[in-house]
Amino acid sequence: MSVSRKLLLLLPLWLFLLSVACTDTPASPEPTPTFPPTPHSTPTALELTRAASTPQPVGEGAYLSTVEVVKQLKPSVVQIVIEVVRMDFFGRPSPDTGVGTGLILDTGGHILTNNHVVQGAQTIIVILNDGTRREGTIVGTDPSTDIAIVRIEANGLVPALLGDSRTLQVGEDVIAIGHALGLAGGPTVSKGVVSALERTIQVDTQNTIVDLIQTDASINPGNSGGPLVNLKGEVIGINTAIIEASQGIGFAININDARIVAQQLIEWSNVRRGYLGVVPFNLTSALASRFDVPVNHGIIIQQATPGSGAAAAGLREGDVIIGLGDTEIRNTGDLSKFLLEHQAGETVDIVYYRGPERIEGEIRIGERP
């Protein structure tokens, strides 16, 4: 039986719905995550932390009121308006407009937002806190983590203060700031708590985002790419997804992962992950049964590229990888994060199933072609 998954790029003017079929049949259906909204001579890898110093852990240092946090963050939060020209039923060009949020990272004009906010954009307009409008260009995007970097030319930019998401605690107060619904008059502010940590949402059978922060702070269409902030005024997450038809369940990319991806996009315009040479899918119950493997998590190989590390290690279609190095690989998100931390040239242990047989070996990580 097929479960329909929806990837919703929420717009204040339009709702786009992308249905993706998964082959799993879970005992109790998982809620569908949706992504609210849409339709280089620069300082070196950053001023990104205007705060290159390590932030103080929760429980130490000065806490601010909500009003003070908002005053501190507002100059660093921008509205992103994108336009995509599509063909209508009669073959005539028809413009679609979407709105999202971005976060100023440095005085060189780099802005962090979600990939789904700018994906497919033909025109990007960035509106600063004082109402100034600047045309933006895409520096780089990473669909695997839903991160994108946009750059503008502007003076007097105020970078946001980035925190350390490792210090977060469940129950901690947080504030979400973003241009919800594209409403005029500046960003919308909502307050809640960290509801859970290390959440995983599956976008489709090939894409999973891991280590997300769950919050009950209200996140609405237009909030995507905006900051989730602690009471010290430190950005600890980037708002990215909500559960459709739920109340009070939203997700943010933890800032530590977002920072690593952002730095690479700014320096190289892409993310330099290691490369195994496989086309992976998340293992489902149906696939586990079909390939007779005794596990219900991992990544199943659809194809091993000739000449790749996977091919050299003897991997083939239908093999299910469950471990690399010391890391358990439960889904494509775990694989993506592992390859972000391990570069070409490394040889690591691998554990996989071929049917009911558990196999251990080694695999050499290559460079993505």
* Residues constituting the chain: 369
- What pLDDT score does 87 carry? 67
Query: For the chain, how many structural domains are there in total?
Result: 2
Same domain, 49 and 34: yes
CA distances in angstroms from 102 to 115, 180, 227, listed in the order given? 11, 12, 8
In 92-114, which positions are buried (b, 16+ CB within 10 angstroms) versus exposed (e)? eeeebbbbbbbbbbbbbbbbbbb
Same domain, 206 and 325: no
Same domain, 13 and 51: yes
Of the residues 271, 297, 315, which one is the last residue of a structural domain? 271
Give the rounded percent of residues in the chain with a pLDDT score beyond 90: 55
Same domain, 170 and 295: no
Which among 284, 275, 300, 285 has a CA at the least distance from the CA of 353? 300
For the cut 90, the answer to whether the pLDDT of residue 40 exceeds it is no
Same domain, 267 and 288: no
Of the residues 224, 241, 271, which one is the last residue of a structural domain? 271
CA distances in angstroms from 339 to 144, 254, 255, 327, listed in the order given? 12, 18, 18, 11
**56-65, 105-114, 258-267, 268-277: least confident range:** 56-65
Best mean pLDDT range from 22-26, 188-192, 228-232, 247-251: 228-232
pLDDT in tens, 306-321: 999 999 999 999 999 9
Same domain, 36 and 169: yes
280 DSSP assignment: E
Same domain, 231 and 344: no
Same domain, 154 and 295: no
CA atoms of 253 and 255, how far apart (whole Å):
6
Same domain, 261 and 289: no
CATH number at residue 112: 2.40.10.120
Please give the residue that has the higher pLDDT: either 204 or 300: 300
Mean pLDDT over the full length of the chain: 81
Same domain, 278 and 264: no
- Is the entire prediction scored with pTM above 0.85? no
Confidence of residue 61 (pLDDT cuts 50, 70, 90): low
Same domain, 1 and 121: yes
CATH number at residue 342: 2.30.42.10
Same domain, 7 and 113: yes
CA atoms of 275 and 176, how far apart (whole Å):
35
Of the residues 203, 238, 271, which one is the last residue of a structural domain? 271
Taking residues 258-267, what's their average pLDDT?
94
For the cut 80, the answer to whether the pLDDT of residue 242 exceeds it is no
Domain encompassing residue 17: 1-271
Positions annotated as catalytic residues are 116, 146, 224
**104-118, 127-141, 162-176, 194-208: least confident range:** 194-208
Please give the residue that has the higher pLDDT: either 338 or 242: 338
- In which region does residue 13 sit, left (phi positive, over 0), alpha (psi from -120 to 50) or beta (all else)? alpha
* Distinct helix (H) and strand (E) counts, the chain: 6, 24
pLDDT in tens, 1-23: 333 333 333 333 333 333 333 33
Residue 69 tokens, joined:
């946090």
